Structure 1
Amino acid sequence: MKQPFYKQRSWQIAIAAIILLLIAAIALFFIWGNQSADKKARQIAEDFTTDLKKADYKKLSETMSVKSLKSYNFTAEKVADKYETVYGGIGVKDISVKNLEVKPGKNSRTYDLSYELSMRTSLGKLRTQKYAATISNDKDNWKVDWNPGLIFPGMVADDKVRLTTDEAKRGDILDRNGKKLATMGNFEEAGIVPEQLSDGSAKDQELKAISEKLGVSLDEIHAALDQKWVKADSFVPLKTILDAPA
């Protein structure tokens, strides 16, 4: 005996409804799962950059995946020390983060992280640096896959950063004829103490010898000695000799 048509129809509708509910539940599960993953990946990215700004390198290392640290033979303690050594060594401060972005990666278990950092060092403000990394699922936790380039772009594991300063060298100051008015170097000043000169013709001979030795005319020597401030025991400079032995 055949069942009434309406009963068959009811069963068909019930089955179709159940299938639709299952499809909707699965869709909601994936949507919820994706939203949850998006939120967790974004949160770990914000934690990473916040710890970086605060120079809390120990806490920063906790946002990194263990597998990425192992791939560079690093531990959480070692990578924290690396940041302290590099950033501390050049006096990094006032770190600011810009353009932080977290986007879905090549598969459902990865995200692409990018951001920009600006900072000051002992020598002044560095130009803005661009950084990129991957966020992946590490034992049901989303972590940043660390690499040495996250300290400074292009950096590798064995790189070391050192701050050195060079003393500025002052250039020569010349007059319009090219004669040096001021310069850098070792120098001695040649001159005369009047009371140490002889008298009469002997004095004339001494001044002539000084003139020839220093390449200063007798007229210039007499003019220097005749200055109002000159006393018997004064040292009267006649010529500066550059590049004298130190």
Structure 2
Amino acid sequence: MVHFYLSDLLTRCKYNLSSILLIRHSLKHERFINAYRDGFIREYTQKQSPYFFDGYEKVIVFSADEGTTAKYLKTYEVRHGETPSISPDCSPFLLESYKDEIMHPLFEIDNDPLVTYENKLFIEWGKAAVKWYQKGTNEKTITQLVNTSQFVFPGYENVLLTYNELKQIIDNRQTYADWHIALSSINAIYAIIDCSNGKIYIGSSYNKNGLLGRWSEYATTIHGGNEVFTQLLVKNSKAHLHLQYTILKVLPKDVTALEAVEVENVFKRKLQTIPFGYNHN
């Protein structure tokens, strides 16, 4: 059987294997789970013990997957001698003292040739999974490259999306053709849940472009024209990373605004989203 290795891909991308560090973050570590959820993988990765990145030019980051496999997340450049860059919205827990760790200067790579493989490439990390960082010269078999030429729509009752997932679907019409067809074929009562506090916003779509048209507004502007989400973003520019989008009830494509709002109000009363959620009326 012919195997393809990570080193083959990296060599093709003109990466120097001897100057690469591979890292596999564990899903058992709560700090990583929170950093991944909030979009601060770089800040989490660059906080290591002194001299950790000495001798390396690039860091290739994976997350643990089933068994001893690993999913590729991102590649960063180590800029020795520069001041570490930390997002102004970085989660506070990542800035707290942790063991003897310090922030190192990791930066995203412009025009990174590996960007098309993010969240799609899987490798076999090896039996020594406890060794969460290894040299790039270590051979790692590529076990899977997810075919994302088309993503099948899972059914309206199974739709549960983070903001980043929603934006990816909206921005990639060809890849998510099934999703675009399905979401544009209906109108709906939908819910947006703030996973940081459990508050819910109930909304409805009643336009010719269906639910796709309404959710495209959220993907484009984040706030979707809603005052409550505009205020959230003013307080925290990363607030949308806590939001989840789901469908509560499918409505006919030709539903009128009055009909949709009537059903919407029923769900607001059922879920008490005016007194306890994000609906203001």
Length-normalised TM-score, structure 2: 0.17
Higher relative contact order (CA 8 A, sep 6+): 2
Greater percentage in helix: 1
